Structure formats: C-alpha cells, structure tokens
Amino acid sequence: MKNQRFKAVAMATVLSAGALIGSAAHADKTLDSILKVGQAKTSAALKSQQRIDKLADETADLLQDFKTVNKQIDGLRVYNSQLERQIANQLEVINELETSIENVTVIERQIQPLILRMLDALEQFVALDMPFHMDERNDRLEMLRANQERADISVAEKFRQVLEAYKIEAEYGRKIDTYKDTLDVGGQEREVNVLRVGRIALMYQTTDTELSGAWDQRQRAWVELAPGQFRSAILVGLRMAKKQATPDIMRLPILAPEAAQ
C-alpha cells in the first residue's frame, strides 16, 4: 500500500515538474515576442524622430531663406522708389531739353546778328586804339570774319571765339610788354624797341637808344621826344617788360585824360 502511495506521489511530482517546464518555455516565447515588439517600436520611434529632426532643419532653413528674401524685397522697394524719383527728374530734364531744342533755331537767329555787331565794335575799337601788335590783332579779326561764313563751326563756337578776342583785348590793358617793330623815325625807317604799359603809354626807342618817341593819341601819331628825355626811364621799362628788372615806379610820357565830349 505504501509503495502504491509513493508511486502516486512520484508521478504527481513528475507531472508538476513537466508542467513547470512547459510554463517556463511558454513564458520565454512570450518575453521574446514582447522584446521584439519593443525593439520594433523603439526603431520606429527613432526613425520618426529622425524625420522630425530633418523636417525641423528644413523648416529652419526655409525660415532663414524667407527672412533673407524679405530683406531683399525691402531693399528692392527702396531702390525702386529711388529709381522712380530719378526717372521723374530725368523726364523733367528731357522735357526741358526738348523745349531748348525747339528754341535753338530762334536763339541762333538772335545770336548771329549779335556776333556780327560785336565784331564791328571790336574792329572799330582796334582801329581807334593805340597801334600796338596791329598785325596780330588784325589777323585775329580777319580770322573771326572768315569763320562767320563757315558751316562746319557752330554758332556757339563762333560766339566763344569772339568772346575770347574781347578777353585778349582786355588783357592788353593790364599788362606791360615789349616787342620789336620798324617805324618812321626822322623820315627814315628804323628798327625800334616798343614799350607798352597797358593802354596808358606806348613808346619806342631805337636799338642804339639814341632816339625815343611816344604815341600821341590826340594826334594819332608818333611824337619824337627830346634827346635824352625819358631815355633812362624807357630803358628801365624795357628791362621790366623783359623781366630783367623788378617792377618799379616809372616816369613816362603820359597824356592827361581828356574830358568826354
């Protein structure tokens, strides 16, 4: 009887051990499945985070590009506004130029007679002035007259040339100079040194310094000076004109001014 009970207990123990072994094996399989599912979720979460990070970087880049483009747009707006003002000013200038072009013909018709009147006045002035550098001055007047007939010279250039001639004549009155010339002295042609002090005095002295003379504007003729009179003064003046002596006060034969008639 005891043997049978022992066998039953042993059998029950074996069955219980087998059940425990089977349960452990099943638990291992379940744990592996759970771990695999967890790993899959972790991997999926990692990939999702990577996609999120990539989208975040792309969004940040796009935002930076957006800000940059906005700044460029603002700059272009300012630039376009400035260009619009410049274009408006240029249109005004164009309108003024068009008006000027329309008036060119009228202006030319008015300027050409003025140039001719200025030339007439200049010729008269030279003819009545002291007779210095006459060849040079007359040649200039002839050139200006000839240029009035030339079609290849604009009216503006003709006017400028006449103004330049007036300027040269004005400069004569502010300078002292000397040059050689040939004059009738005592009935003979003599080579002389001419001294001009502005338009105040015009004198000559023969190259041997023996004879001197001065221009008399009232008589419109050369007048011989007494021997030795003003000889030293004229010599000093000639040296000053040649820049061989420092400027100084000179005692020269100057006519008193006449009262206007």
Give CA–CA dist 83/242, Å, rounded: 60
The answer to whether the pTM exceeds 0.85 is no
Comparing CA positions, the residue from 181, 177, 229, 183 lying closest to residue 200 is 177
pLDDT in tens, the chain (261 residues): 555 555 554 555 544 555 555 555 566 677 777 777 778 778 877 888 888 888 888 888 888 888 888 888 888 788 888 878 888 888 888 787 777 767 766 777 788 899 999 999 999 999 999 999 999 999 999 999 999 988 898 888 999 999 999 999 999 988 899 999 999 888 889 999 999 999 889 999 999 888 999 999 888 999 998 877 788 888 988 999 998 888 877 777 776 555 444
Beta bridge partners of 193: 180, 205
Q: What values do phi and psi take at 224, rounded to 5?
A: -75, 140
Cβ atoms < 10 Å from Cβ of 83 = 11
SS (H, E, C) 200-251: CEEEEEECCCCCEEEEECCCCEEEECCCCCCHHHHHHHHHHHCCCCCCCCCC
Tell me how far the alpha carbon of residue 204 is from its chain's centroid. Answer: 50
CA distances from 110 to 114, 122, 147 (A): 7, 19, 18
**The dihedral formed by the CA atoms of 239, 243, 245 and 248, expressed in degrees to the nearest 10:** 90
Q: What values do phi and psi take at 193, rounded to 5?
A: -100, 120
Looking from the CA of 18 toward its CB, the CA atoms found within 13 Å total 6
CB 194 within 8 A of CB 179: yes
Comparing CA positions, the residue from 166, 158, 157 lying closest to residue 137 is 166
